[in-house]
Amino acid sequence: MKLKIFMLLAGVGLLWALLNSLKSGVSQPASVRADSPSVPVPAASAPQTPLPPPATSAPLQQFSEQLLSPPYSQPVTAMNLAQTEAPSVAAVTVPLDDGIVWSLQPGQFRFSYPEPVTATVQIKGEQPAFVRYRLRSVTTAELLSSGELTADADGLFRLSIPGHTDFPAELELIVDSEPGHGALALLQYHQPVAWLAQTLALHADDSDLVLPLQLEVQQRGLYRVQAVLGQNQQSAAKPLAILQGEFMLEAGTATIELRAHHSVLPAEPFDAELSRLQLELAPPVPGAATGYGRPLQAPVALGDFDPRALNRTPYQPDAQALKRVELLQQLGR
């Protein structure tokens, strides 16, 4: 009886952690290091353990599929599709008296040097001749930039403030036309700790497509790397997989390898592209800030790849992953 109660409590704890993980939309990274870039795959002759069926409910099924897939190469599904798209930023909307509404829409929340700070201002219910803007440090209130904006032909006010190497991490952007009429948005600005220098040639390694990336690293430490592998098409690119890994990198030029399992690739040759590259430097000590790399300004063409060159051996989850899936089956009943 005590064992059943313990298993139930453990299952509830796992489900709670799962739901929080899915809500954040961030998968757990694979433990891949720069000194061991190859992710082990089973030999073709290794005995295959029967896989349990997926869980029934959508969140449980999503987590089961993640556990039964290579952690470094997650297929794109409806549950994680948002990770393949640029993050949206909600506009700051300020309703005033007499039906006046100010709306301040930042171009993004986190900017990285040398990106400019961009935003759009929409005003309903009044037509000011110009709009003032101020960009200030949150911590010191130091004024970093200021000026006036005039409306474009469509009635919107648009601003673009050049980035600087001395911008602090926490910024506030204020726009107004007179006292009491305006809006304020909080932003982040980071000096990048690493960025992509170039992509190297794709190649096959057993069951994986290997994507080497050459990085310029400003600060040494443990980096979490995530990127989207897509298939370039005539209309819009099709996201295929979310690739991820962790690497201990030294300052200077470093080459890492992201890998895509054959199960996430099309059957026929395709034109590959890289997008949504995210480089995060883990805080060196508890309480320190996370470092961020410079994002890609546009997808990067990787060239053609023929998946038929890969070994089609199915991925074999480890014993711990299989036990977790079995527990999810029990919770889904």
Q: Is residue 277 exposed (0-12), middle (13-18) or buried (19+ Cβ within 10 Å)?
A: buried
Given a cut of 90, whether residue 9 has pLDDT beyond it is no
Chain position carrying tokens 């199960």: 263
Kindly report the CATH number that applies to the domain delimited by 100-190. Answer: 2.60.40.10
Encoded tokens for 131 = 């709009």
For 116-173, give the DSSP string. Answer: PEEEEEEEES---S-EEEEEEETTT--EEEEEEE---TTS-EEEEEPP-TT--SEEEE
Encoded tokens for 11 = 């299952």
Angle at 148 between CA 147 and CA 153, to 5 degrees: 145
pLDDT, greater one: 102 or 31? 102
Given a cut of 50, whether residue 195 has pLDDT beyond it is yes
Q: What is the mean pLDDT of residues 126-149?
A: 96
**Amino acid, res. 150:** T
Residue 270 contacts residue 304 (beta carbons within 8 Å): yes
d(CA 60, CA 62): 5
d(CA 51, CA 40): 19
**Where do the domains of the chain lie?**
100-190, 194-309
Q: Which range (55-59, 228-232, 326-330) has the least confidence?
A: 55-59
Q: pLDDT tens digits for 39-86?
A: 333 333 344 445 555 545 566 666 666 777 898 999 998 888 888 988
Q: What is the mean pLDDT of residues 207-220?
A: 97
Domains 100-190 and 194-309 share a fold: yes
For the chain, helix (H) and strand (E) counts, in that order, are: 3, 19
In the structure, what pLDDT confidence band is assigned to residue 36 with cuts at 50, 70 and 90? Answer: very low
From residue 177, give the alpha-carbon distance in Å to each of 98, 132, 218, 281, 317.
16, 6, 41, 40, 60
Residue 282 contacts residue 224 (beta carbons within 8 Å): yes
ω into 114 cis (within 30 of 0): yes
Angle at 17 between CA 275 and CA 49, to 5 degrees: 80
CATH number for 194-309: choose from 2.40.50.100, 3.40.50.1860, 3.20.20.70, 2.60.40.10.
Answer: 2.60.40.10
pLDDT, greater one: 39 or 102? 102
Encoded tokens for 248 = 């201990």
d(CA 29, CA 222): 12
d(CA 232, CA 270): 8
